[in-house]
């Protein structure tokens, strides 16, 4: 989701099972959705950031859950479902990220941290190609499974339910060929740069038809001026650098 509104709502706990009482905490609401029940006051420097801390001791790092990965690319700060080969079995995504990847405008994110006096230690990196691919995968998983966790839905799993492709002005065979070529290029690429862009009316979408109930479609790629764009949320997509 793209951040439109945000709010930190203060609340105070009752007695926890750890014997702690009256601990002040904050819930983070984005666009009215609770993203974190216990949002920390300090955002660590690691791209893997815990945004929902333990509800018993209220200390970061106590549990293995509540994580997002943070990247900054083309004027967006991105909170995404963790994809880290080295820590894949050590952390679980924040439950609020089930609503989808969160895209902050960079200036808006700076305003958010300043407004609530958050300590932001992050030196955010640009979006690596493997993380961009994962954003594309997540968007497909959300199309198929909604707000359920997409943590274990691979691209291969998505393709199991595809029974055909179509696009305006193209045959089914041409549409499928464009998708397969685009996927091959993406998965075999290691570009030094990529760009997040907003889709325009000139972008031609290639749609995958899914054999599921209720009926669903996945607008899996777009083509504009012979460039392929891979959708990651709403009208946001990325294209590979030259």
Q: What is the CA radius of gyration of the chain?
A: 19
pLDDT tens track for 15-55? 555 555 566 788 999 999 999 999 988 877 678 888 998 87
Closest by CA position to 219, among listed 33, 210, 40: 210
Would you give the DSSP letter of residue 63?
S
Instruction: Give me the pLDDT at residue 139, please.
Output: 92
**φ/ψ (deg, to 5) at 61:** 85, -5
pTM of the model: 0.88
Instruction: Give me the pLDDT at residue 192, please.
Output: 62
* Other Cβ atoms closer than 10 A to 184: 10
Contact criterion met (CB below 8 Å) for 241 and 229:
no
- State both tokens at 100: 């989808």
What's the CA gap between 47 and 25, in Å, rounded? 23
Domain ranges of the chain: 6-120, 129-240
pLDDT tens track for 83-132? 866 655 577 888 888 888 999 999 999 899 888 888 776 667 889 999 99
């Amino acid at each position: 989701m793209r951040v439109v509104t945000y709010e930190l709502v203060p609340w105070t706990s009752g007695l926890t099972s750890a014997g702690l009482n009256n601990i002040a905490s904050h819930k983070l609401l984005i666009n009215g959705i609770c993203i974190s029940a216990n949002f920390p006051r300090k955002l660590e420097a690691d791209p893997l950031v815990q945004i929902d801390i333990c509800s018993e001791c209220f200390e970061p790092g106590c549990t293995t859950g509540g994580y997002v990965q943070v990247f900054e690319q083309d004027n967006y700060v991105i909170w995404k479902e963790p994809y880290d080969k080295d820590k894949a079995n050590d952390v679980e995504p924040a439950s609020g990220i089930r609503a989808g990847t969160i895209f902050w405008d960079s200036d808006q994110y700076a305003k958010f941290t300043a407004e609530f006096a958050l300590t932001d230690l992050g030196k955010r990196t640009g979006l690596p190609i493997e993380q961009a691919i994962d954003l594309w995968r997540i968007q497909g998983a959300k199309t198929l499974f909604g707000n359920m966790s997409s943590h274990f839905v691979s691209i291969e799993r998505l393709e199991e339910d595809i029974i055909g492709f179509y696009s305006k002005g193209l045959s089914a065979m041409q549409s499928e060929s464009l998708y397969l070529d685009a996927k091959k290029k993406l998965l075999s690429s290691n570009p030094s740069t990529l760009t997040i862009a907003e889709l325009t009316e000139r972008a031609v979408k290639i749609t995958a038809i899914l054999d599921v109930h209720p009926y669903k479609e996945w607008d899996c790629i777009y083509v504009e001026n012979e460039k392929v764009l891979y959708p990651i949320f709403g009208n946001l997509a990325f294209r590979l650098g030259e």
